Amino acid sequence: MSDGLMVDVAGLTVDFKGPKGPIRAVDGVDLHLKRGETVALLGESGSGKSVTLRSLMRLHPSSARIGGKVEVDGRDVLKLSSRELAGLRGPIVSMIFQDPGLAFDPVYRIGDQIMEAVRRHEKLSKAEARARALALFERVRIPSPDKRLDNYPHEMSGGMRQRAMIALALACRPKVLLADEPTTALDATVQIQVLLLLRELQRELGLAVVFVTHDIGVAVEVADRIAVMYAGRIVEMGPARDVIREPRHPYTQGLLLSRASHAPTPGARLAAIPGAPPDLADLPPGCSFRPRCGHAIDDCAELQPEAVSVGAAHFARCIRTRTTAEAYEAVGA
Amino acid sequence: MIIGEPAPPPGGPTRDRGGPGQPLLSVKGLIKHFGQKKGFLTKAGPVVRAVDGVDFDVAKGETLGIVGESGCGKSTTARLVMQIIKPDAGEILFDGEAVGSRALELNAFRRQVQMVFQDSYASLNPRLTVEDTIAFGPRVHGATRRAAATRAHDLLHRVGLEPARFAGRYPHELSGGQRQRVNIARALALDPRLLILDEAVSALDKSVEAQVLNLLLDLKDEFGLTYMFISHDLNVVRFMSNRVMVMYLGKVAEFGPSEALFETPRHPYTGALLASMPSMDPDARTEVAPLAGDPPNPINPPPGCRFNPRCAKSAALCAHEEPTLLAAGEGDHRAACWLVDPSSGHPRLAA
């Protein structure tokens, strides 16, 4: 294990086959998580946030080409055999998804599915596995847990199914939890319950959590650090507080300023980011955000911007961070 | 007509009749229950009380926001207004005329009310080009091929899609934001007066969502439109709406001017909904969830106030007597809660 890191990703690249040659979905991502730390990967569709997350469990189709270093709990994920990989998925890393309907088999009882997962990895009797499943259901606060273990997935409401999936993910006592938009499909009053539950479990179990979301508000609720992704790269990363209060990358600033809750008066227009999200098959040279950026200069087209330190453990991939800092102060955000 | 040379709808343009004081849309006692009704040989099955007695009106030129969680009946309400599904009971008046009556036949009504849905891909015909999609409505209603094409190009331009580049494309060749712009253009093709936007921006990326919201505001001004804006995103509803209706299990919980409703919510459910929004402040994260459990199923709504099993302020009264919408504050701010009725005898009023 290197330096006590639970997740150690460096120079991660993921290429998928495209109609006109390979498409680079993730381009040089570095991500380090200590035990008990939560990082939110924030980005829009196609930014590479989910692809990055799936790399940590090597869940990509075999046609995908993964480069760089991916270590989880000291294991080199990219070099594991499929047998070793099965030993990693569950006891070391597990994942929760947006749609719990897809994570459960509809024709088996939920309790049986959790017991199966436990018994696949640990030598437990059926009774012991059921006791574990029951304890998990209590843990994620499913009401009348003993009865609910015998439910089929369709017999549960959306919020309860999401809790059951969290129980399944925790069944083998993982050290790292990967969350892929787990609350996006939930109603507002249920979303906050699930977020608080995840935060509490993370704290009690000392989990390292990578939380993928497109919603800044959700990221703020769960994360210690926020990494903003754009076109396959982390363009800004830092402590949640600093990224929200003092964003330095123009894309992060744009996301914060274009929120409807930030509108000056009703009926006024939002400060929308112009242009369209990037086409990964046809990225501009230099900074990928340049075509949509109000601060772009000729130099931005020259090179991929390096990470510039803009505060303690806070960096932005932008060559104009001084200008963007002043501009953001000026709009009084 | 506002742009280009669109063909006037057959029967002549049916514009404003009742003057600005008359609501564009007025809905009274709207009810829709889904499920099996008792027949000659069939037993009655469980009934989903999707919309269970809803009254509201939409003033000319305003945006009425509708919020609520899944199962609250907001989309069913939209579909009932559109006459996509038939209400079991209730009256829908459009500019003073009953929809479906001889004075306002369904065809004439549908030209004036259009809808934009959440799923931008499913709502477009994959085999029609963008131009044919937008021109389809005017063609059906009697425009010449050339007039309809001109109208389609004008509208594409208006929604920010360069006609020369986009007119010949198919839906799969567009991004989600572009497709939703096409859906908006299509909805405008018959020069409607009321646009129902059912989660129309919910599936879009945040940076694109802001662009489309701005576009909707521009189009509203330019075409003199009235919107019904349905969304689960309270921030967006607050930004877009003049007045807001909060629904819970098929009923209206609260109704009022946007600012008043968001600043001083009078129904405990509205308060809980607002408190459930992520805080956006890393130093003041939410610590306690405002509500426990999921929204209940509208199959067997609880007796009394439908919110009472989840309500922190619930009293014995709430479990057996159902509150009606009562005036609660300035303007037409109304809430269906015993706490706004000083004579209700709710124990918290005495305190």
Question: Considering its fold, how many domains does chain B have in total?
Answer: 2
Q: Which of A188, A269, A277 sits opposite B205 (nearest CB)?
A: A277
Based on the domain organization, do B97 and B136 belong to the same domain?
A: yes
Based on the domain organization, do B191 and B270 belong to the same domain?
A: no
Based on the domain organization, do B199 and B270 belong to the same domain?
A: no
Based on the domain organization, do B218 and B269 belong to the same domain?
A: no
Based on the domain organization, do B176 and B113 belong to the same domain?
A: yes
Residues of chain A neighbouring B210 (CB-CB closer than 8 A): 258-260, 270-273
Determine the pLDDT at residue B351: 62
Based on the domain organization, do B213 and B171 belong to the same domain?
A: yes
- Contact between A193 and B287 using a beta-carbon 8 Å cutoff: no
The answer to whether residue B15 sits within a structural domain is no
Whether A294 has its CB under 8 Å from any CB of chain B: the answer is: no
What CA–CA distance (Å, rounded) separates A202 from B332? Answer: 46
ipTM: 0.90
Q: Which residues pair with B32 in a beta bridge?
A: B51
The answer to whether residue B135 sits within a structural domain is yes
The answer to whether residue B329 sits within a structural domain is yes
Question: A150 near A111, Cβ under 8 Å?
Answer: yes
Q: Which residues, at least 6 apart from B292, have a Cβ–Cβ distance to it below 8 Å?
A: A193, B310
Residues of chain A neighbouring B295 (CB-CB closer than 8 A): 187, 189-190
* B197-237 pLDDT per residue, tens: 999 999 898 889 999 999 999 999 999 999 999 999 999 99
Question: Does residue B267 carry a pLDDT above 80?
Answer: yes
Query: What band does B7 get if pLDDT is binned at 50, 70 and 90?
Result: very low
What CA–CA distance (Å, rounded) separates A318 from A234? Answer: 11
**Nearest CA among B183, B257, B175, B245 for reference residue B215:** B183
Based on the domain organization, do B328 and B194 belong to the same domain?
A: no
The answer to whether residue B330 sits within a structural domain is yes
Mutate to test the interface with B, among A187, A222, A265, A293 (most CBs of B within 10 A): A187
Question: Does residue A1 carry a pLDDT above 60?
Answer: no
The answer to whether residue B338 sits within a structural domain is yes
Range of the domain at B272: 265-277+302-350
* A255-281 pLDDT per residue, tens: 999 998 877 676 789 999 998 888 898
Question: Does residue B86 carry a pLDDT above 90?
Answer: yes
Mutate to test the interface with B, among A44, A270, A314 (most CBs of B within 10 A): A270
What CA–CA distance (Å, rounded) separates A25 from A278? Answer: 11
Among A161-165, B190-194, B265-269, B341-345, the range scoring the smallest mean pLDDT is: B341-345
The answer to whether residue B194 sits within a structural domain is yes
The answer to whether residue B54 sits within a structural domain is yes
CA–CA min distance A267, chain B (Å): 7
Based on the domain organization, do B234 and B308 belong to the same domain?
A: no
Whether B221 has its CB under 8 Å from any CB of chain A: the answer is: no
Determine the pLDDT at residue B25: 96
CA–CA min distance A332, chain B (Å): 16
The answer to whether residue B323 sits within a structural domain is yes
Based on the domain organization, do B188 and B234 belong to the same domain?
A: yes
Query: Is the dihedral angle over the CA atoms B160, B165, B166, B167 positive or is it negative?
Result: positive
Whether A231 has its CB under 8 Å from any CB of chain B: the answer is: no
How distant, in Å, are the alpha carbons of A123, A153, A161, A240 from that of A116?
11, 15, 17, 38
CATH code of the domain containing B157: 3.40.50.300
Among A residues 106-145, those touching chain B with beta carbons less than 8 Å apart: 143
Based on the domain organization, do B270 and B327 belong to the same domain?
A: yes
**Nearest CA among B291, B214, B306, B182 for reference residue B253:** B306
